[in-house]
Structure 1
């Protein structure tokens, strides 16, 4: 009887452990994508040969390196692991965040995040196996807005997306300045210097991600107001808009460094995040 109980406990724990490994792999893969996006944008800010791009453009940049498709395959698998983790968060609330009126909204955001990164993982796999017909960034904001605009109440849908993205941007600001992200890190496993560094790099990264999100949301709202989906932008367009401002090169360079910092923050999460899949 005792042995059967033990075997049932092991069978319950094994899948959870695999999910934890996938989640950590996923955070690392997502972090690498942000580092590449930020690095290319930083180069572009000062005309050093880079380009403003988003996640899909980063995939092409990775694929163009020596052994790039093998590297991209690893990134795609990592993103699929992140997708699995997001769906687990949405369905099971493994981190016990289910504590109030915002619980269902939080679960919905995890589910949407899983869908978004699932589509990115599929796009990366298509590059690996030579299926995309273009080396462009693909999946631009105006194509998303055009799809939404063609639906019933499409203009309102586009506007809602804009408001939601801006709200997410301010949530990033809140996370940066409240430092609540520290609660999900195994701080006891860090040295004092590592803890301080991880906090500062996360604050910088989350602030920059918030800035980009607010700019993207603004463009979606403009698309809704003018009934013109071509006005919508994604990360690439947001960075270009920042570059066009006074002192734009310096502003974009700063935001680009912030995106690199956000990628490093995700790498820290890959190593030190408290992940309880069961």
Structure 2
């Protein structure tokens, strides 16, 4: 092969590795972004879970959702700087998820997986925007009120069906998360070979408890949407905070809320473990 031809072939591979993914230098930057994103996610879930525990015992009035978590961060020394750090972490997560949508994850080229990564990138972009707005003092940092958009959706032709379908889909995602947690499928995405046997047990417990709690929370939120569609009442729709508070009004009393809240703290800790051992 001539020298010029070899140079041309090499140039054609710039920016990509043999599997069609990003070349080593960009891949390292993307890995760092992923780890920063998982760390930011962990902080928010630990704070939301802690707020929910305090709500269960009647010692907290702040919402147990992302807005409440951001309020807790803002109240700390150097809170504004910490908020911007969280926004940067979510921006990093957005870029990492977007890279998975483009290149696939660990050589995975399935269209469904890449579309899911794209959807997650859009979600984290909205979280980043809300967090940055909160840090800048120009927004609440909360998600759109589910009752507002449910009311708008119910006013559309076929709106009840649309809301019901969305509710079933959200509940389905929740059930899927819970089932995959019971199957320990989250371990497939971790570098368990680099852990001690004791650490594998700890991370497994964090992932199991945390993902089960997330599954229960999403299933409940989806069920409320379906109820809103059936009753044609947007006030039946509930966000994270209202869904968590509803658990305290079950026959199990506040203990179900405590159980789910502890699970959210576990998921936050699992996110920290993912920042360390996730296959990126």
Q: CA deviation at 1:227?
A: 2.2
Equivalent in the alignment of 2:55: 44
1:124 matched to 2:135: no
User: Judging changes above 3 Å, is the alpha-carbon distance between structure 1 residues 155 and 107 closer, same or farther for their aligned structure 2 residues?
Assistant: farther
Larger Rg: 2
Equivalent of residue 31 in structure 2, options 3, 6, 20: 20
Equivalent of residue 102 in structure 2, options 74, 91, 95: 91
Equivalent of residue 206 in structure 2, options 174, 193, 201: 201
Counterparts of residues 2-21 of structure 1 (less than 5 Å): 5=10, 8=14, 12-21=23-32
Deviating 4+ runs (over 4 angstroms): 1-4
Equivalent in the alignment of 2:19: none
- Find the aligned partners of 2:155 and 2:248 in 1 and give their Cα distance: 31
- Find the aligned partners of 1:108 and 1:228 in 2 and give their Cα distance: 32
- Find the aligned partners of 2:156 and 2:70 in 1 and give their Cα distance: 30
Q: CA deviation at 1:96?
A: 3.6
- Find the aligned partners of 1:179 and 1:111 in 2 and give their Cα distance: 24
Unaligned runs of 5+ in 1: none
1:108 matched to 2:119: no
Counterparts of residues 249-264 of structure 1 (less than 5 Å): 249-264=254-269
- Contact 2:210–2:264 (8 Å) recurs in 1: yes
Equivalent in the alignment of 1:139: 144
- Contact 1:42–1:50 (8 Å) recurs in 2: no
Q: CA deviation at 1:9?
A: 6.3
Equivalent of residue 164 in structure 1, options 161, 164, 169: 169
TM-score (norm 1): 0.88
User: Judging changes above 3 Å, is the alpha-carbon distance between structure 1 residues 109 and 94 closer, same or farther for their aligned structure 2 residues?
Assistant: closer
Q: CA deviation at 1:157?
A: 2.2
- Contact 1:52–1:239 (8 Å) recurs in 2: no
User: Judging changes above 3 Å, is the alpha-carbon distance between structure 1 residues 83 and 142 closer, same or farther for their aligned structure 2 residues?
Assistant: same
Pairwise CA RMSD: 2.3
- Find the aligned partners of 1:42 and 1:17 in 2 and give their Cα distance: 38
TM-score (norm 2): 0.88
Unaligned runs of 5+ in 2: 17-21
- Find the aligned partners of 1:174 and 1:96 in 2 and give their Cα distance: 25
- Find the aligned partners of 1:37 and 1:227 in 2 and give their Cα distance: 30
1:181 matched to 2:186: yes
Q: How many residues align?
A: 269
Higher mean C-alpha displacement, 4-13 vs 90-99: 4-13
- Find the aligned partners of 2:47 and 2:119 in 1 and give their Cα distance: 23
Q: CA deviation at 1:151?
A: 4.3
- Contact 2:130–2:143 (8 Å) recurs in 1: no
User: Judging changes above 3 Å, is the alpha-carbon distance between structure 1 residues 151 and 67 closer, same or farther for their aligned structure 2 residues?
Assistant: farther
Which structure has the higher relative contact order (CA within 8 Å, separation 6+)?
1
